[in-house]
DNA sequence: ATACATACC
DNA sequence: TACTGGTATGTAT
């Protein structure tokens, strides 16, 4: 009994560390923590969410236990050695210290809540929060006294504060205000870096330098005259009382300006400049901001929190001031150290930054290099002194939470919707991605992610869905006969192709062939392992690539079908050259042990590679054809395709949208569609396809292949393990081939691949009108 | 490369 | 009744 109680208490404590009130941030001082936590607990207890949090807490505790075990095994000697290393590192870091920059971090006070209060005077004296019963984005300072805070569900907040008013989010409004404040930021640093709608880093160094010589007139700013109301205390007059505990009689905000005729003159110092900026923000938006001024970004961020709300804090640019400041700083305040890191550090007796430096040798042995190097920088008060330019986006995603969904058809439909939304967002930014990730959260709050990287970039709804659907189907199958009981689904795309990757489709085919070449050489001739490295294409197994290519073709064909009814839009075709201009191995691929050796297929991956080809390489037989006459070349290809009618083959797979195995549902691609999409690209671009204008007989040839494959549907083999005879499975079409003769098999694979290559090359690409639009989607405004 | 976890707003 | 959504990055395999 006692034991039970004890373990319950322990898990309670663990639970608290995840769930309990975070009084780390501003506005949470002096409230009844225990009472609040009790209410949070009572409200949460027994819920699926709670259970999951408990589970995660357990995992963290186990991690800590492991760490402690590791710690126990550290010898005196190891520690000494580590200490030496730490000191070396510290010395080298110290050398990089730069105190010459003036970095400012600005942060709007309770942003969303403040905007809503500004626009609705009713709310001014009341506890309110922005969000919903399910989740709050932020709360005003009134509500914070009750323990109501960002990232807390509204229904719990209501328990803490029954009078709480919850206002739904109005993102458009916040975005508009955000644009207003960003205009002001730009006046002080045109290269400022926004962190969210309400927050930014600015480099004031240049501004300060110029400001020194500014006349007073440039530093004089007018108060807004609000109709009829005489100025009083400027702060009260300027903006509604948003925070009753905000520093009203701030010495840095003299009232004299207002009294003297509604102007205020700001000085030339950094503090004055920042105060001026905040003043202008307040004038323009009737909202207040807080700011931190420090020699680097890491410190500025901490400083902006120091005198929140409506205040600022300057950390002098001396080593002494910085080191003093750091010593008492709780580790949790540091950007990048969250609940879990804090808990782990606490377990080692590290709660503030002075402990951090004291324990650095130990930390260097227990944490990864990246982690302890970061700790080290923090403990020395170091951080970025130059604000990095806005980086390119690395991923884009959309996800949705809903009431339990366990029907497969609903799940697939939702997945499609998500893909549609995502494709729309991608289009806005002209993005093309290679990796698709599906995110699932079941009703027990367990999260799963499943990703697939394709070797070509995709962007359309259909393409994304083709990949996402497969991932989802796999998960559904894995769970069957139980259904997936989902509460959230999300789709993310990443691994965007860069602007110079102009021909992702083209590259995908080339990449496929080149990569398989590499693989062949490494798997069969170990001695040749160090052949040229693939620069950008990911190293995938042949099977993965084949699968990826099939997926792409799948998408493409389903698109073809959809578009069959409408007109065929003028689309361009990816360009590239297939020539036999070869310097190296020109051996017959079929003499090789590999089932494919497309070393003969070379292509210019970009238009800049000048190639005047005397010969063209047939994509079917891989033999050079000594002609530049496309008609002749086309006839050769036809002959090749005709010449091997007796090998088993399959048509390409078409998305069936059914729950049955796709392999069962392959269909013919309407030739008319293939043809309709075949258009010539830019002039001057050397493309194999360009050299073959769509001719009737071309497509007839292709059609024959399809017919052949229809005639000879290979027997199905889904499982790879239960085949008695040594049947081989084609990595392209994934059908088992009833032969153990490698030559026969190789012929099949060749044909299969060539067919896909042919179709692939007829695939149109959407002209990539990529504009580097940096309008990033902004998340919620959390003020923890 | 993939999966999962942590962190931030 | 009810515990987000978007992005980046670290850690582990």
**In this predicted structure, what is the pLDDT of residue A738?**
44
Give residue-wise pLDDT tens across range A162-178. 999 999 999 999 999 99
Q: How far apart are CA A307 and CA A313, in angstroms?
A: 6
Q: Å from A721 (CA) to B8 (C1')?
A: 47
What is the reported pTM? Answer: 0.65
Q: Å from A450 (CA) to C13 (C1')?
A: 15
The answer to whether strand B lies under 7 Å from the CB of residue A63 is yes
SS3 category, A751: helix
Give residue-wise pLDDT tens across range A761-775. 222 222 222 222 333
Minimum CA–C1' distance nucleotide for A150: B9
Q: Which of A28-42, A360-374, A649-663 has the highest mean pLDDT?
A: A360-374
The answer to whether strand C lies under 7 Å from the CB of residue A194 is no
pLDDT band, residue A109 (cuts 50/70/90):
very high
Residue nearest the C1' of B9 (CA based): A782
Helix (H) or strand (E) holding A375: helix A369-379
The answer to whether strand C lies under 7 Å from the CB of residue A488 is yes
The answer to whether strand C lies under 7 Å from the CB of residue A47 is yes
Please give the backbone phi and psi of residue A71, each rounded to the nearest 5 degrees, phi first.
-60, -40
The answer to whether strand B lies under 7 Å from the CB of residue A685 is no
**In this predicted structure, what is the pLDDT of residue A17?**
81
pLDDT > 90 in chain A, percent: 53
Minimum CA–C1' distance nucleotide for A40: C3
Minimum CA–C1' distance nucleotide for A779: C6
Minimum CA–C1' distance nucleotide for A439: B3
The yes-or-no verdict on residue A587 having pLDDT over 70 is no
Of residues 350 to 389 in chain A, which lie within 7 A of strand C by their beta carbon? 367-368, 370-371
pLDDT band, residue A759 (cuts 50/70/90):
very low
pLDDT band, residue A500 (cuts 50/70/90):
low
The yes-or-no verdict on residue A630 having pLDDT over 60 is no
Residue nearest the C1' of C12 (CA based): A368
Q: Token pair of A639, please?
A: 């002959």
Pick from A342, A261, A335: nearest CA to A298: A335
Q: Please, how many CA atoms are within 13 Å of residue A604, restricted to the half-sphere of its CB?
A: 17
Minimum CA–C1' distance nucleotide for A537: B1
The yes-or-no verdict on residue A425 having pLDDT over 70 is yes
Q: Å from A531 (CA) to B1 (C1')?
A: 21
Give residue-wise pLDDT tens across range A402-419. 999 999 999 999 999 999
* Range scoring the smallest mean pLDDT among A138-147, A202-211, A422-431, A578-587: A578-587
Give residue-wise pLDDT tens across range A328-341. 999 999 999 999 99
Q: How far apart are CA A139 and CA A309, in angstroms?
A: 13
For the residues A131-139, what does the mean pLDDT come to? 97
Minimum CA–C1' distance nucleotide for A422: C6
Q: Å from A492 (CA) to B4 (C1')?
A: 15
Q: Token pair of A18, please?
A: 């995840």
Query: Which one is predicted more confidently, A422 or A552?
Result: A422
Q: Å from A393 (CA) to C11 (C1')?
A: 22
Contact (Cβ atoms closer than 8 angstroms) between residue A500 and residue A607? no
Minimum CA–C1' distance nucleotide for A425: C6
For strands A312-314 and A128-131, give the pairing: unpaired
Contact (Cβ atoms closer than 8 angstroms) between residue A104 and residue A312? no
Residue nearest the C1' of C2 (CA based): A134
Q: How far apart are CA A366 and CA A360, in angstroms?
A: 10
Minimum CA–C1' distance nucleotide for A337: B7
CA A46-A344-A322 angle, to 5 degrees, is: 125
**In this predicted structure, what is the pLDDT of residue A528?**
28
CA A423 to chain centre: 15
**In this predicted structure, what is the pLDDT of residue A12?**
57
For the residues A89-118, what does the mean pLDDT come to? 98
- Please identify which residue in the block is written with the tokens 């960003």: A182
**In this predicted structure, what is the pLDDT of residue A23?**
63
Q: How far apart are CA A760 and CA A678, in angstroms?
A: 11
Residue nearest the C1' of B3 (CA based): A449
- In angstroms, the first-to-last Cα distance of chain A is 38
* Range scoring the smallest mean pLDDT among A298-302, A388-392, A554-558: A554-558
Minimum CA–C1' distance nucleotide for A494: C7
Give residue-wise pLDDT tens across range A431-490. 999 999 999 999 999 999 999 999 999 999 999 999 999 999 999 999 989 999 999 999
The answer to whether strand C lies under 7 Å from the CB of residue A580 is no
Please give the backbone phi and psi of residue A395, each rounded to the nearest 5 degrees, phi first.
-155, 165
Q: Å from A87 (CA) to C5 (C1')?
A: 42
pLDDT band, residue A85 (cuts 50/70/90):
very high
* Range scoring the smallest mean pLDDT among A55-59, A301-305, A558-562, A617-621: A558-562
Q: Å from A682 (CA) to C3 (C1')?
A: 54
The answer to whether strand C lies under 7 Å from the CB of residue A393 is yes
Which distant-in-sequence residues (6+ apart) come within 8 Å of A73 by Cβ?
none
**In this predicted structure, what is the pLDDT of residue A391?**
87
Give residue-wise pLDDT tens across range A179-237. 999 999 999 999 999 999 999 999 999 999 999 999 999 999 999 855 334 333 333 33
Q: Å from A743 (CA) to C12 (C1')?
A: 42
The answer to whether strand B lies under 7 Å from the CB of residue A347 is no
Minimum CA–C1' distance nucleotide for A25: B9
* Range scoring the smallest mean pLDDT among A614-618, A692-696, A711-715, A735-739: A692-696
For the residues A421-430, what does the mean pLDDT come to? 98
Minimum CA–C1' distance nucleotide for A780: B9
The answer to whether strand B lies under 7 Å from the CB of residue A337 is yes
The answer to whether strand B lies under 7 Å from the CB of residue A450 is yes
The answer to whether strand B lies under 7 Å from the CB of residue A338 is yes
- Determine if the peptide bond prior to A481 is cis (ω within 30°): yes
Q: Token pair of A705, please?
A: 């292949």
**Which residues are paired to A213 by β-bridges?**
none
Q: Å from A67 (CA) to B4 (C1')?
A: 19
Q: Å from A398 (CA) to C13 (C1')?
A: 27
Sign of CA dihedral A738, A741, A742, A746: negative
Q: State how far the alpha carbon of A216 is from the alpha carbons of A202, A212, A282, A687, in Å.
A: 23, 10, 21, 65
Q: Token pair of A451, please?
A: 């990703």
SS3 category, A488: strand
Q: Å from A717 (CA) to C5 (C1')?
A: 42
* Range scoring the smallest mean pLDDT among A7-16, A308-317, A628-637: A628-637
Contact (Cβ atoms closer than 8 angstroms) between residue A1 and residue A41? no
**In this predicted structure, what is the pLDDT of residue A768?**
27
The answer to whether strand C lies under 7 Å from the CB of residue A151 is yes
**In this predicted structure, what is the pLDDT of residue A548?**
39
Q: Return the HEC string of A601-612.
A: CECCCCCCCCCC
The answer to whether strand C lies under 7 Å from the CB of residue A779 is yes
**Which residues are paired to A200 by β-bridges?**
A106, A194
Contact (Cβ atoms closer than 8 angstroms) between residue A762 and residue A601? no
The yes-or-no verdict on residue A601 having pLDDT over 50 is no
The answer to whether strand C lies under 7 Å from the CB of residue A401 is yes
Please give the backbone phi and psi of residue A194, each rounded to the nearest 5 degrees, phi first.
-75, 140
The answer to whether strand C lies under 7 Å from the CB of residue A43 is yes
The secondary structure of residue A661, as a DSSP letter, is: -
For the residues A114-129, what does the mean pLDDT come to? 96
Helix (H) or strand (E) holding A638: helix A630-643
The yes-or-no verdict on residue A743 having pLDDT over 50 is no
**Which residues are paired to A492 by β-bridges?**
A397, A437
Q: How far apart are CA A67 and CA A420, in angstroms?
A: 45
The answer to whether strand B lies under 7 Å from the CB of residue A551 is no
Minimum CA–C1' distance nucleotide for A544: B1
**In this predicted structure, what is the pLDDT of residue A275?**
98
Minimum CA–C1' distance nucleotide for A782: B9
For the residues A38-63, what does the mean pLDDT come to? 95
Q: How far apart are CA A135 and CA A782, in angstroms?
A: 11
pLDDT > 70 in chain A, percent: 56
The answer to whether strand B lies under 7 Å from the CB of residue A58 is no
Q: Which nucleotides of C are covered by protein (CB under 7 A)?
A: 1-12
Query: Which one is predicted more confidently, A581 or A381?
Result: A381
Helix (H) or strand (E) holding A676: helix A671-676
Minimum CA–C1' distance nucleotide for A368: C11
The yes-or-no verdict on residue A369 having pLDDT over 80 is yes
Q: How far apart are CA A151 and CA A267, in angstroms?
A: 39
Minimum CA–C1' distance nucleotide for A471: B2
pLDDT band, residue A729 (cuts 50/70/90):
low
**In this predicted structure, what is the pLDDT of residue A428?**
96
In whole numbers, what is the pLDDT of chain A averaged over residues?
69
The answer to whether strand C lies under 7 Å from the CB of residue A40 is yes
The answer to whether strand B lies under 7 Å from the CB of residue A781 is yes
**In this predicted structure, what is the pLDDT of residue A292?**
98
């Amino acid at each position: 009994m006692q034991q039970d109680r004890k373990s319950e208490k322990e898990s309670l404590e663990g639970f608290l560390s995840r769930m309990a009130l975070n009084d780390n941030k501003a506005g949470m001082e002096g409230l009844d923590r225990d009472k609040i936590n009790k209410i949070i607990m009572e409200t949460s207890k027994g819920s699926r969410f709670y259970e999951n949090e408990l589970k995660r807490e357990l995992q963290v505790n186990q991690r800590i236990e492991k760490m402690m075990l590791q710690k126990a095994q550290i010898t005196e000697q190891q520690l000494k050695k580590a200490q030496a290393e730490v000191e070396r590192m510290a010395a080298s870091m110290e050398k990089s210290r730069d105190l010459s920059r003036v970095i400012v971090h600005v942060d709007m006070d309770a942003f969303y809540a403040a905007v809503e209060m500004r626009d609705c005077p009713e709310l001014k004296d009341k506890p309110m929060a922005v969000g919903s019963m399910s989740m709050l984005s932020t709360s005003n300072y009134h509500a914070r006294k009750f323990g109501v805070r960002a990232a807390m569900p509204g229904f719990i907040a209501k328990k803490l504060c029954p009078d709480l008013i919850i206002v739904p989010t109005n993102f458009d409004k916040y975005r508009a205000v955000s644009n207003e404040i960003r205009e002001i930021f730009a006046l002080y640093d045109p290269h400022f870096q926004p962190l969210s709608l309400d927050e930014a880093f600015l480099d004031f160094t240049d501004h300060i330098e110029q400001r020194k010589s500014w006349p007073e007139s440039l530093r004089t700013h007018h108060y807004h005259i609000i109709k009829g109301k005489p100025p009083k205390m400027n702060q009260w007059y300027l903006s509604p009382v948003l925070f009753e505990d905000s520093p009203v009689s701030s010495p840095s905000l003299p009232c004299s300006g207002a009294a003297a005729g509604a102007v205020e003159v700001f000085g030339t110092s950094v503090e004055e400049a920042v105060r001026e900026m905040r003043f202008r923000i307040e004038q323009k938006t009737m909202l207040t901001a807080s700011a931190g001024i420090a020699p680097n970004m890491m410190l500025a961020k901490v400083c902006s929190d120091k005198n929140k709300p409506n205040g600022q804090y300057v950390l002098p640019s001396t080593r002494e001031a910085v080191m003093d400041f750091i010593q008492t700083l709780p580790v949790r305040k540091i950007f990048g150290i969250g609940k879990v890191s804090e808990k782990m550090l606490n377990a080692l007796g590290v709660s503030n930054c002075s402990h951090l430096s004291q324990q650095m040798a130990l930390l260097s042995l227990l944490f990864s290099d990246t982690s302890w190097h970061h700790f080290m920088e923090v403990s020395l008060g170091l951080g970025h002194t130059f604000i990095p330019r806005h980086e390119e986006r690395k991923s884009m995603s959309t996800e949705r939470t809903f009431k339990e969904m366990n029907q497969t058809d609903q799940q697939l439909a939702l997945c499609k919707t998500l893909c549609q939304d995502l494709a729309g967002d991608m289009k806005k930014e002209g993005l093309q991605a290679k990796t698709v990730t599906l995110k699932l959260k079941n009703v027990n709050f367990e999260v799963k992610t499943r990703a697939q990287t394709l070797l070509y970039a995709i962007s359309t709804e259909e393409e994304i869905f083709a990949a996402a659907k497969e991932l989802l189907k796999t998960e559904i199958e894995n769970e069957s006969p139980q259904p997936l009981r989902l509460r959230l689904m999300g789709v993310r795309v990443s691994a965007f192709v860069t602007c110079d990757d102009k021909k992702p489709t083209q590259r995908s085919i080339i990449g496929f062939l080149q990569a398989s070449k590499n693989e062949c050489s490494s798997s069969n001739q170990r001695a040749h392992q160090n052949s040229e490295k693939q620069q950008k294409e990911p190293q995938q197994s042949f099977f993965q690539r084949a699968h990826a290519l099939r997926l792409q073709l799948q998408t493409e064909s389903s698109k073809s079908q959809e578009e069959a009814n409408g007109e065929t839009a003028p689309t361009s075709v990816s360009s590239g050259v297939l020539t036999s201009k070869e310097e190296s191995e020109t051996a017959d691929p079929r003499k090789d042990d590999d089932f494919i050796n497309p070393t003969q297929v070379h292509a210019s991956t970009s238009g800049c590679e000048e190639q005047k080809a005397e010969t063209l390489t047939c994509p079917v037989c891989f033999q050079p054809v000594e002609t530049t006459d496309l008609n002749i070349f086309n006839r050769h290809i036809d002959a090749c395709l005709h010449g091997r009618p007796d090998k088993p083959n399959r048509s390409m797979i078409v998305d069936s949208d059914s729950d049955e195995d796709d392999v069962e549902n392959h269909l013919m691609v309407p030739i008319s569609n293939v043809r309709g999409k075949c258009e010539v690209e830019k002039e001057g671009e050397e493309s194999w396809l360009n050299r073959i204008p769509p001719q009737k007989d071309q497509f007839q040839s292709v059609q024959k292949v399809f017919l052949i494959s229809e005639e000879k549907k290979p027997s199905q083999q889904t499982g790879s393990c239960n085949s008695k005879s040594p049947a081989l499975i084609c990595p392209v079409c994934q059908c088992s081939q009833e032969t153990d003769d490698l030559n026969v098999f190789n012929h099949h694979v060749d044909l299969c691949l060539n067919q896909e290559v042919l179709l692939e090359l007829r695939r149109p690409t959407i002209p990539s009108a990529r504009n580097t639009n940096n309008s990033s989607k902004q998340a919620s405004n959390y003020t923890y």
